Amino acid sequence: MENSTAYLLSDSARLLRREFNVRVRSLGITSAQARLLLLLDRKPGENQAFYADRLEIEPITLCRMVDRMEDAGLVERQANPSDRRARLLFLTEKSRKEIARIRQALKVLMETMLAGFSGEEESQLMGLLQRVSVNLGSTSNGEPRHG
């Protein structure tokens, strides 16, 4: 089993997450906070349920994390114009600086991860991983969807 593709992908993802956690912690934030900031940078102005779903955490967990991040000046809640009960999340100037630091840490992490790879090998790896993602994203209950 140790040489199986699934095991190698899973173990590589575990090691990558562990190293990401270490690097962002050195910046003074948690990996969950870093992931939320990066997601907010790509998809600002959504409700908390959207971000909880994308980060695969419980809505109450996200709510508590956002409370702490709002107190720290890293995120801002704004009323949803179409639903006054709902709040939309946005970055702040302070969090934009944090994102730059997170991206720099990620750049160094990627350089470490891909050390010794040629440009062609990096491109091949990216293409293969994208195909894996497409294949897994097109399944339902573990069964491939047939068109």
Q: In angstroms, rounded to a whole number, what is the distance separating the alpha carbons of residues 86 and 82?
A: 9
b/e code 51-77 from CB counts within 10 Å (16+ = b): bbeeeebeeeebeebbeebeeeebbbe
Q: Is residue 53 part of a domain?
A: yes
Mean pLDDT of 20-34: 95
Q: Is 29 exposed, middle or buried (0-12, 13-18, 19+ CB in 10 A)?
A: buried
pLDDT, tens only, 120-136? 999 999 999 999 999 99
Q: What is the mean pLDDT of residues 46-67?
A: 96
pLDDT at 83: 87
Is residue 134 in a domain? yes
Is 123 inside any structural domain?
A: yes
Q: What is the pLDDT of residues 90-131, one digit of tens each?
A: 999 999 999 999 999 999 999 999 999 999 999 999 999 999
pLDDT of residue 84: 82
The answer to whether residue 144 scores a pLDDT higher than 80 is no
Distance CA 46, CA 63 (A): 13
Number of folded domains that form the chain: 1
Residue 60 lies in a domain: yes
Residue 147 lies in a domain: no
Residue 115 maps to a domain: yes
What's the pLDDT at 139? 62
Q: Which domain holds residue 49?
A: 5-138
**Is 144 domain-assigned?**
no
Say which residue the tokens 């990558």 belong to. Answer: 16
87 domain-assigned: yes
* DSSP classification of residue 27: T
Q: What is the CATH number of the domain that holds 125?
A: 1.10.10.10
User: In the chain, what is the straight-line distance between the N-terminal and C-terminal CA atoms, in Å?
Assistant: 31
Distance CA 103, CA 99 (A): 6
